[in-house]
Every structure is written in C-alpha cells, then in structure tokens.
Amino acid sequence: MLHDHLAECLEKKGLYRRAAERWAKVMVQLSDDQKRKVAAQKRAECLRKARRTPVSPVNLTEIKQAVNRLHSELGMGFEERRVFRRYKGTGEQNTSGNAWSKKC
C-alpha cells in the first residue's frame, strides 16, 4: 500500500485538488510501475471527489406562475387587485400633504 502523509492529510481536510496535485508529484518520484498505478488511482479519486455538482438553472417563469397561482388561491390575484383600483372611498381626504399624519 502506498502512503503519503501530506496527500492523506489534504484528503482528510477535503482539499482534494491539492491532494491530487500532491499525488501527481509522488507519482513522478516513484520508480515502480505498480506504485505509480496506485498513485494515479488515488489522484483520479481525488479529482473525482473535487468535482462540483452541476447547478440547474433557475427557471423564473415557473416561479412566477406558482406565485400567481398562490395569489389567485388567496384572493389576491390580478382580477381581485383591479377591484381595489376602482374603489372610490367615502371618507374625508387628507389635504395636509402628509398621508401619515393623524388627526387629533
């Protein structure tokens, strides 16, 4: 069995790209073909572990459709919002310019 303390420590820490580089250096220094093959396998395993999982692209259309569907179910859909836009209130209008001011 082939051992390299530095490469194994890097693997334990999850630094697989650095460990693969270290295994490549070890592979060059070896004189036995069988040991080179083992080092190459360990390097290939580190490179496999270093690969990132592919990220699926976000489809914003599906998200928007889901939000619109939820709004309709809750009574907040497009048609329901139009009702509030046509609403004519019967209360007093605030003419002070500050819509947030309270009457005392």
What is the spatial distance between Cα 5 and Cα 23, in angstroms, rounded to a whole number? 11
What is the spatial distance between Cα 19 and Cα 12, in angstroms, rounded to a whole number? 9
Instruction: Out of 24-28, 54-58, 78-82, give the one with best mean pLDDT.
Output: 24-28
Q: 3-state SS of 25-91?
A: HHHHHCCCHHHHHHHHHHHHHHHHHHCCCCCCCCCHHHHHHHHHHHHHHCCCCHHHHHHHHCCCCCC
* Residue 30, CA atoms < 13 Å, CB-side half-sphere: 18
Instruction: Out of 53-57, 61-65, 86-90, give the one with best mean pLDDT.
Output: 61-65
* Tens-place pLDDT, residues 43-58: 999 999 999 888 888 8
